[in-house]
Amino acid sequence: MRRLRSTPIPGTRDEYTGVDFNLGFHVRSYHLDLNYRVGPNNLSGIATLQLDNWRPLKSMTLDLAPSMRATRIIAQGTAGHTVKVLRFRQSGGKLRITFAQEIPVDSEFSLVIRYSGTPGPIHSPWGDIGWEELENGALVASQPNGAPSWFPCDDTPDEKARYEIIVTTDNPYVVAVNGTLLSKQTAGSRTTWHYRIGHPMASYLATIQIGEYTQLLLSEPGGVPVRAWVPAELRESAREEFVDQSRMLALYSELFGPYPFNSYSVVVTEDELEIPLEAQGLSIFGANHIQGDHTWERLIAHELSHQWFGNSLGLAQWNDIWLNEGFACYAEWLWFEHSTGRHAADSAREHYAEIAAQPQNILLADPGPRDMFDDRVYKRGALTVHALRTLLGDAPFFRALRRYVAAGAHSVVEPVDLKREILAEAATLGIPEDEVKNLWRAWLHQLELPPFPEPRR
């Protein structure tokens, strides 16, 4: 079976999350039919997974938090293969399924899993992640491994799949989900929201946002549809805060390539959030980020850029987190270069001085789980991007960047994919290959901070 990543799976356990890989199969699609009661915070669902297997399977595992209990699993084979579940159990955050007969390699089959429980976040070294009950609703923010808090899945970043998500909940709550709203049907005191995600998505990027929200349209005529779901009392402040959202989207489309999804949404919760949160085609902000004075403009730019870097271009493995966050931080500097005239080199110099004053004990290419979300990873990643831009010059750098984005669209990328495009552009400019490789090694594979990148003479 074709796999998205170009390198073999490194071992049997994700060294960053500490979670064992679910080996032997690929989930092609998830169909989630969910029923959520806001007051008691009760979730029940039917998850239908379409799978194929790249090795024979007598048993398999999926990720599912202990708070969600599977009650029934039905398997169905295709193309003449009979698939029957012999038994299943849950332990250690895994749903463990044993089949009556071994499933031959390269089979296609489905699993229909009924489950229910009281959803809550998964406790992790990076805080609580996944499903979170709010004062008036719920949100989902799962990076890096919180998706099992609300549905059974193969929760690893390089396993993208198609999604269809149907949520029935109490009125007057709005349900915002990744993707396109296909239908909204009200029956009595409850409404069913039916969404389809049009592009492959990593499980940690799937989200549900439930709250008493009103919708704002933020897009320019003829542009990508941009909307916001906000509490009514924050409507005008949010309109001012996101006034440049479409301009940001237009800039990034010019620099990186076309916006990769059908639309873009932001959700503003009534609760305060420590930081904004990303999902595919959607970003989540807290009420504290909406002051109407553009205090958090850089974060609005940052989260939008993740639609290219992190969502369309997914990670093969978490040690490459700088590919997401370095580009997102650099995108902040690019926005201010465009909107205020402050060149990205000035932002880079400011943050270089801050990093230089801190311990040089994080390896960008493999920062480790403790430091994967450290601000030094974000900013040194952005400085690495700036060093590459400085080496090549503007036009060649953005040509290489657009090729990198186009080649990895709706798939997963690794540093070697970016390096390949940089080397190709450098060759056309007569820049020695060793010069590129030395720069790459210094910024990614050495602890010591390299000298600030200056243009070639």
Residues in the annotated binding site for Zn(2+): 302, 306, 325
**Measured over all CA atoms, what is the biggest interatomic distance in the chain, rounded to whole angstroms?**
72
CB contact set of 230 (below 8 Å; sequence gap of 6+): 213, 214, 216, 238, 267, 268, 290
Answer for the pair 77, 30: CB distance below 8 angstroms, yes or no.
Answer: no
HSE of 394 in the Cβ direction (CA atoms, 13 Å)?
6
Strands 108-117 and 68-77: antiparallel
Q: E-strand spans in 202-315?
A: 208-211, 214-217, 226-230, 264-268, 277-279, 282-285, 313-315
Q: Which residues are catalytic?
A: 303, 378
Q: Measured on CA atoms in the order 447, 448, 449, 453, is the torsion positive or negative? A: negative
**φ, ψ at 443 (rounded to 5°):** -85, -30
Please state at what angle helix 375-392 crosses helix 433-444, rounded to 10 degrees: 170
Answer for the pair 160, 197: CB distance below 8 angstroms, yes or no.
Answer: no
Answer for the pair 46, 112: CB distance below 8 angstroms, yes or no.
Answer: yes
Could you tell me which residues are annotated as the binding site?
302, 306, 325
**Interior angle at CA 59, CA 53 and CA 64, nearest 5:** 90
3-state helix, strand, coil in the chain (%, to 5): 30, 35, 35
Six-digit token string for 324 = 């997401």
For the purposes of burial, counting CB atoms within 10 Å of the CB of 322, is it exposed (0-12), middle (13-18) or buried (19 or more)?
Answer: buried
Answer for the pair 46, 74: CB distance below 8 angstroms, yes or no.
Answer: no
CB contact set of 259 (below 8 Å; sequence gap of 6+): 224, 249, 252, 253, 307, 308
